[in-house]
Amino acid sequence: MSPPVFSRPLTFSEYNSLQLTLVKISKILAEEVIDAIDSEVNKPKRLWVRKWIKRRNQLGASNLLLKELAVEDPAEYRLFLRITPEVFEELLIRVSPYIQRQDTLKREAGGV
């Protein structure tokens, strides 16, 4: 247990001095809190909706949108598909022969 700070009663001037010091500390602390709140309120807003997400309704979630995203924001493209544009193109080249439209007896493969 620590000894008491004052072993004798405070004089009136000591008490006033201590009180003034506490008031000054309180003001400084209040200013710091106000500054912290102001900086939090006034900091730039985060980007919640990226440009490509806004265009997704018009362009769909693939084809043109993916091409634009690869050029406009490669980091976001990678987060969206979990692969780089180069890897996607390589995979597309490999699977294209298997997924392309083919003529059947009932219809011709039309370009869509």
The string of pLDDT tens digits covering residues 58-83 is 766 676 777 888 888 888 888 888 99
HSE of 101, CA atoms in CB hemisphere, 13 A: 7
Name the token pair of 110: 């039309």
What's this model's pTM, rounded to 2 decimal places? 0.41
User: Please, are residues 72 and 52 in contact by the beta-carbon 8 Å criterion?
Assistant: yes
Mean pLDDT of the chain: 83
Q: Which residue has the tokens 């490999």?
A: 94
Residue 69: count other Cβ atoms within 10 Å of its Cβ.
Answer: 23
